[in-house]
Amino acid sequence: MIFSNQPAYTTLPQTHESILSAFAMKAFIIGGSKNIGYYAAQRLLSTCCDAIFIQLIDPLSFIEHGATVTFLLRNKSCFDADETIQQYVRSGKARLVSGDALKEEDVRKAWAVADEGDDGSVDTVFFSVGRRFPPLYNISRLNLSLPGGTPNFSITKGFYINPPDLCAHSMLNVLSVFPRAASPQPRLVLISSTGLGRTAHAAVPFALKPLYGILLPGPHRDKLGMERAIAHAAGFAWPAADGEPDAEILPEGWQAHVGEGWLKSVLVVRPALLTDGVCKGDASAEACACKGDAPAGAGVPYRVDSEEMKGQYTVSRQDVAHFVAERALADWSEWEGKIVRIAY
């Protein structure tokens, strides 16, 4: 890619490949009002605002060159006082659409808005539906996150979410409107959770098992249903030990509704318990850059693996967003078609 009359760069450090890829990116984000989706959106919108490119791009036009990001929001006013997002709204790079991911027509409407313009169709879908604990449930000031829905408590059920199928139902709607015949298909990145299913739960650190057992069974049923739908659409093998979601999570006949084996470009990210910690990935990337060329992912403070890892305790929301925006989307061929775990 050549900027104006500047020479072309044929090789770039990993963190800057994402800068180049973002110029033409059109992303549709579901669950981007806060947390991981919000942090990832900020990175995509402002990707080109990097010091190395100050001499290559007019500094006054930085905002015009980031990705175009469309948010599906139940309440668009959530960004009214957010000047960071508002500057992109004014430039047309951020598009805010009112709607509910639990309604297929709303997802379809927002996708159509995301597709608008003569700069191509949506090429990236980021799904991070979820809700953190209210302050009452915060533990040791970590502000740990439920994987989705509004947390409630019952003597008989423990902690549960309402609706119980928030993530699974929303994902069915996304898959319903997904352009299956597109070539290439949009990239789909979804945020799930560690500890799903019997095998994954067995890998949860012993100290966290009570937390997972008391707080997360309901949300994990929902996330497991979401992953089951993705596995069917992508043609992934489903572990028999994990069983099948019940009708409260996935309705009867969902397999025929979803279709099998057509989803070609997907990445499932399973974070450890989420915290509000800072992004350590940026500091590590800067340190590696000071040392010259380094392999992709070198020096990052978090671990990412397609297999269960020991010691999967926590990871910050900002570092999950860092992985998605700076590594996964920047080097899609390495991560496409995988289910990965991320933790410190």
pLDDT digits (tens, 9 = 90+) for 267-310: 999 999 999 999 999 987 665 544 445 455 567 899 999 998 88
Q: Which of 2-6, 156-160, 288-292 has the lowest mean pLDDT?
A: 2-6
> In Å, what is the CA distance from 205 to each residue of 201, 244, 274?
9, 25, 15
Q: 67 vs 289, which has greater pLDDT?
A: 67
Per-chain mean pLDDT for the chain: 82
Q: List CB contacts of 11: < 8 A, sequence separation 6 or more.
A: none
**What sections of the chain are H helices per DSSP?**
14-22, 35-45, 83-91, 104-115, 166-177, 197-202, 209-215, 217-234, 254-258, 280-290, 317-322, 332-335
pLDDT tops 50 at residue 106: yes
Q: Which residue has the tokens 């496409």?
A: 336
pLDDT tops 50 at residue 136: no
Alpha-carbon distance of 330 to 125, in angstroms, equals 14
Helix 35-45 × helix 83-91 angle, to 10°: 50
AA letter at 107: V
Instruction: State the average pLDDT over residues 248-262.
Output: 97
Q: Which of 207-211, 231-235, 290-294, 322-326 has the lowest mean pLDDT?
A: 290-294
Tell me the pLDDT band of 201, cut-offs 50, 70 and 90. Answer: confident
Structural tokens at position 142: 């970590």
Nearest to 228 by CA among 213, 243, 218, 216: 243
Predicted pLDDT of residue 195: 82
Predicted pLDDT of residue 13: 40
CB 151 within 8 A of CB 131: yes
- For residue 275, give the 3-state DSSP assignment: strand
Q: Which residues pair with 271 in a beta bridge?
A: 342
